[in-house]
Amino acid sequence: MVAPLIDIKDISFEYEQTKALDNISMKVEEGDFLAILGPNGSGKSTLLKIMLGLIKPSKGKIELFGVDAKNFKNREWIGYVSQKSNSFNSGFPATVEEVVAGGLAKKTGLFHRLPKSAHQEVAEALEAVGMQDFMGRSVSELSGGQQQRIFIARALVAKPKVLILDEPTVGVDHQNVQAFYDMLASLNRDKNITLVLVTHDVDTVTDRITHVACLNQTIHFHGFKEQLHTMSDEQREAWYGHSVRKIHHIGGSHA
């Protein structure tokens, strides 16, 4: 049997004063498109940072591709687009090609000359996010949504098997959010990239994802999105901290 790509086992995490995660267990399998949902301060970003090895849990264990995270060497298999990527310094005079090629630095080292093949790899990554016509443009001239696609291309150019995104549609206007999620769904379906994202776009994202995790310090639900309706109103309210009956429609049978 293939090991889960991410296997989180009984993890807890506290910041100095605040308990952020309490006994979380969950697995991300190859091919999943998982949305992590939860109210502000529920520990979503903290959980992503633990998956990425940026912070260490105070209790519990994480395995990546079947290997204890402490011994995991293939960090380039896990791409990350942070919440702050798109608060890009608009005065910074970099071209789209330069920014995306920056994603190859993990492989080539920061000060090594990029190989000739880099141009082709950048072109392919841009094509995957529908930005192939923007190669020579200055990133500062692009819209928030376009910049976000460039940062996804920057992660993709390193050929990750899993892509982790923290609120990727911040800065993407309402009209373009659907197209943005369609692009992510095509990365998942056509390029076989496993996706984990944190989002507040419950209504838009649920058509595209395969799995949902409802987090508020603990996991209140994790499974196929179609099963989400099996959560009782009590569980749902415990998860969100207030009545959220309107999201009943997630999961098909309540549509």
Ligand X SMILES: Nc1ncnc2c1ncn2[C@@H]1O[C@H](COP(=O)(O)OP(=O)(O)OP(=O)(O)O)[C@@H](O)[C@H]1O
- Min separation Cβ 46 and ligand X, Å: 3
Burial class of residue 109 (count of CB atoms within 10 Å of its CB; 0-12, 13-18, 19+): exposed
Structure tokens at 97: 């090609």
Least Å from the CB of residue 25 to ligand X: 17
Q: Which helix (H) or strand (E) holds 239?
A: helix 233-240
**E strands, the chain, in order:** 6-14, 19-28, 33-37, 59-64, 67-68, 78-81, 162-166, 194-198, 211-216, 218-224
Stretch that binds ligand X, among 39-47, 60-68, 121-129, 241-249 (CB under 6 A): 39-47
User: Contacting ligand X (CB under 6 A), which of 44, 222, 225, 236?
Assistant: 44
- The CA-based angle 199-143-145, given to 5 degrees, is 25
Candidates 1, 2, 40, 243; binder of ligand X (CB under 6 A) is: 40
> Side by side, which strands form the sheet with 162-166?
78-81, 162-166, 194-198, 33-37, 211-216, 218-224
38 versus 103: smaller Cβ distance to ligand X: 38
Work out which of 6, 28, 35, 46 binds ligand X, going by CB under 6 A.
46
Query: Residue 42 interacts with ligand X (CB under 6 A)?
Result: yes
Q: Does 169 bind ligand X (CB under 6 A)?
A: no
Among 4, 43, 57, 251, binds ligand X (CB under 6 A): 43
**Span from 33-41, 121-129, 142-150, 226-234 in contact with ligand X (CB under 6 A):** 33-41
Q: Is there binding between residue 45 and ligand X (CB under 6 A)?
A: yes
Cα–Cα distance for residue pair 70/136, rounded to 1 Å: 40
Q: Which of 6, 24, 26, 38 binds ligand X (CB under 6 A)?
A: 38
Cβ-based burial of 52 (10 A; exposed 0-12, middle 13-18, buried ≥19): buried
Q: What is the DSSP letter of 115?
A: P
The smaller minimum CB distance to ligand X, of residues 18 and 235, is found at 18
In the region spanning residues 1 to 20, those forming contacts with ligand X, defined by CB under 6 A, are: 15, 18, 20
Number of residues that bind ligand X (CB under 6 A): 11
CA nearest neighbour of 246 among 203, 207, 205 = 203
In the complex, what is the shortest distance from the CB of residue 217 to ligand X, in angstroms, rounded to a whole number? 8
Minimum CB distance to ligand X, residue 20 (Å): 4
Provide the binding-site residues for ligand X, judged by CB under 6 A.
15, 18, 20, 38, 40-46
